[in-house]
Amino acid sequence: MGAPTGVKARAALAIALTAAGCGDGQPEDPRARLALLAAERGQGAGPPPGPAWHFRATGTVGFATDGEILAQQAELWCGGADRMRFIATSATGRNVFLVNGADGWLWTEGGDWRAYVSPELARETLLRWELLRFPWGWLVEIAAAEPGATRFERTAGEVPMTVELDESGMPVAGECQGVRVEVGDWRAVLGGVRVLPHRWTWSGPSGRRTENFQEIREDVRYFDEAFRPPAGGAPDRLVSGAGERFGVVRARMWRVPDAAADAPMDAPCWWDRGGVEIAAVMLDFEALPPAGATAAEEADWWLRWSFVGTTEAAAAAGAQLSRAAKDAGLEARGEVWVRRAAADGRPHGQIALLPVAGPPR
């Protein structure tokens, strides 16, 4: 999908407004305006059902310094309005910045973790989360604004912030207590139709920089440990492979006669279901079962958490699934399944599953 601020997008928006009975192109009903602002981004008026996802972006960052641009590789993990991991990699090594609520840390290649509480980074994290999801959660502010407004203000906790839109209803900038970001290069998120800004230009107390992301994913979820240093002050160990895919899927679990040890993630493998070891394979809902297979669960819908990590991380994911389902308003319909992988302390493909009632609403 191309940038949504072109002629076709504006025409589609005008047609939708007219159909909604808004002759001047601006709906008086704030819910109608929120829905139209969301549609401009290729998304519904509210987040889809299921647990909230996180974001992972990879690309480059250019720091403006002494009249020159210092370019580095960049990787961003955004896990909420106050949880962020930013990795900047240059020829001399990595710098890892963490924001976790009121806490923050910095790790530099070859050094130790140190506390790095930065109000500027905290404000950036809030702006990222809101702009990645806008207009979700902004109904009250849209209702309080004049019809046709292109600037909205809100307070998150005690922190005021603003979002600015262009004439077609797309966000172009955000500001929060002296930190400003301008966004552009709107493209469809990898694997979806919703559009996200891939260029972020920041200005604030620490100067000016521009992030150009080649890829942004939103089918990921991160453990809490992704946003705090390893225990005991150990060096940073998390890499891109720690990204997790998390969401509700429609599939069938089939019990099979046998499975290979540490098989590929999409092949028959051994699973732990409530302490019982079962050879099984998960397939798409409409796929034919393997020869000799029998249904392992009646469920058609599953909360699925897959990632690259250790067996200990897989056990932790399984233990958290029921709570995650409850928090998302999903009804559990059975025991948690955890894929058996080699317990050698090294990262392997891991999957934790929970059958849930569906389809999700």
Pick the range with the lowest mean pLDDT from 20-34, 93-107, 339-353.
Answer: 20-34
Distance spanning both ends of the chain, measured CA to CA: 27
Higher pLDDT, 19 or 254: 254
Per-residue pLDDT of 26-75, as tens digits, reads 567 899 999 999 999 999 898 876 666 789 999 999 998 877 889 999 99
CATH fold, domain 54-217, is outer membrane lipoprotein receptor (LolB), chain A (2.50.20)
pLDDT of residue 264: 72
Contacts of 8 (CB under 8 A, 6+ apart): none
Higher pLDDT, 307 or 146: 146
Task: Compute the average pLDDT of residues 117-129.
Answer: 96
Task: Compute the average pLDDT of residues 105-128.
Answer: 94
Q: What is the 3-state secondary structure (H, E, C) of the chain?
A: CCCCCCHHHHHHHHHHHHHCCCCCCCCCCHHHHHHHHHHHCCCCCCCCCCCCCEEEEEEEEEEEECCEEEEEEEEEEEEECCEEEEEEEECCEEEEEEEECCEEEEEECCCCCEECCCHHHHHHHHHHHHHHHCCCCCHHHHHHCCCCCCEEEEEECCEEEEEEECCCCCEEEEEECCEEEEEEEEEECCCCCCEEEEEEEEEECCEEEEEEEEEEEEEECCCHHHHCCCHHHCCCCCCHHHCEEEEEEEEEEEECCCCCCCCCCCCCEEEEECCEEEEEEEEECCCCCCCCCEECCCCCEEEEEEEEECHHHHHHHHHHHHHHHHHCCCCECCCCEEECCCCCCCCEEEEEEEEECCCCC
Question: What are the sequence ranges of the domains in the chain?
Answer: 54-217, 243-356
Task: Compute the average pLDDT of residues 301-312.
Answer: 83
Task: Compute the average pLDDT of residues 100-116.
Answer: 93
Higher pLDDT, 104 or 11: 104
Q: What is the dihedral of CA 299, 303, 305, 306, to 10 degrees?
A: 40
How far CA 29 is from CA of 22, 169, 328, in Å, comes to 10, 16, 28
Per-residue pLDDT of 161-210, as tens digits, reads 999 999 999 999 999 999 999 999 999 987 678 999 999 999 999 999 99
Query: What share of the chain has pLDDT > 70, as a percent?
Result: 85
pLDDT of residue 20: 44
pLDDT tier for residue 341 given thresholds of 50, 70 and 90 = confident
User: What is the model's pTM?
Assistant: 0.71
